[in-house]
């Protein structure tokens, strides 16, 4: 892989494993030891965020603005996250648009759907697994039934509300996380697309009500804000589809 860019997106349910391989390739490309990517190296920054906030982005900006300890070894930032507010992403753009020389960024997430288009446009995508409809397996709230989203679409409105209220309660009780909600919305979007495809005499016809997809997209956008009402967002989706 040619590491000619300064910022990379590593996406997918196995993004953590992918990252290790990417860093090894990066080390080989830069002719440095992979041992440079340890926390004992002051020019290697790696941190996980459940939700990247504006304060987190500002701290990254502060670190980025300082001089590196070594001029010979690249300064590497690994940012692993499961969500990010819009304010945090807009602040992060300042780094991605005007990086210091020899500074490299690896942004790791379960799905590209978490990011604003402006952020994605600044990233060189290392691995992108069907980002539009990516589903996180083994989420803390999901049933063993892999077609739970298909079943959800067939529920009555009362059943849909009860289901999403239970999911919201799990998030509130910290038994599930916001990225689990994103995973559910992604899979629901995929299932809605599949159910909206009708085959007539071998001809594929699209019958996709835009308002339903807009509801899912809007909820997914707001769920990673600083203090979203997950219950209200999910009920909005349930009412819309």
Please give the average per-residue pLDDT across 91-95, as a whole number.
Answer: 91
Could you tell me the pLDDT band of residue 19, with boundaries at 50, 70 and 90? confident
Please give the average per-residue pLDDT across 84-107, as a whole number.
Answer: 90
Please give the average per-residue pLDDT across 168-177, as a whole number.
Answer: 87
CA 44, 49, 54 angle in degrees (round to 5)? 95
Decide if 155 contacts 165 (C-beta within 8 A).
no
* Least confident among 18-22, 79-83, 189-193, 236-240: 189-193
Please report, rounded to a whole number, the percentage of residues in the chain having pLDDT higher than 90: 28
pLDDT score of 92 = 93
Architecture field, domain 7-132: 3-Layer(aba) Sandwich (3.40)
- Report the range out of 98-102, 104-108, 127-131 with the highest average pLDDT: 104-108
pLDDT score of 207 = 57
The larger pLDDT score, comparing residue 209 to residue 166, is at 166
Could you tell me the pLDDT band of residue 36, with boundaries at 50, 70 and 90? confident
Name the packing angle between helices 178-195 and 157-172 (round to 10°). Answer: 160
Residues 6+ apart with CB under 8 A from 127: 10, 11, 12, 15, 18
C-alpha–C-alpha distance, residues 230 and 228, integer Å: 6
pTM for the model stands at 0.62
């Amino acid at each position: 892989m040619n590491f000619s860019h300064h910022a990379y997106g590593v996406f997918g349910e196995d993004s953590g494993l992918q990252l290790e391989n990417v860093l090894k390739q990066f080390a080989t490309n830069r002719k440095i030891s992979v041992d440079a990517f340890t926390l004992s190296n002051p020019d290697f920054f790696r941190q996980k965020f459940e939700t990247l906030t504006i304060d987190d982005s500002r701290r990254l900006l502060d670190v980025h603005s300082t001089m590196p300890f070594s001029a010979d070894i690249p300064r590497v930032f690994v940012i692993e996250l499961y969500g990010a507010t819009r304010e945090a992403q807009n602040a992060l753009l300042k780094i991605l648009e005007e990086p210091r020389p020899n500074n490299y960024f690896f942004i790791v997430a379960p799905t590209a759907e978490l990011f604003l288009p402006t952020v994605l446009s600044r990233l060189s995508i290392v691995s992108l697994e069907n980002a539009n409809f990516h589903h996180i397996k083994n989420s803390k709230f999901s049933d063993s039934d892999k077609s739970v989203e298909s079943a959800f679409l067939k529920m009555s409105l009362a059943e849909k509300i009860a289901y999403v209220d239970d999911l919201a309660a799990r998030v509130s009780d910290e038994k599930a996380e916001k990225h689990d909600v994103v995973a559910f919305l992604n899979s629901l979007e995929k299932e809605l697309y599949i159910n909206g495809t009708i085959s007539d005499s071998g001809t594929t016809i699209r019958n996709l009500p835009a308002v339903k997809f807009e509801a899912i997209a809007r909820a997914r956008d707001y769920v990673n804000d600083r203090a979203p009402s997950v219950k209200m967002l999910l009920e909005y989706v349930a009412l819309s589809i």
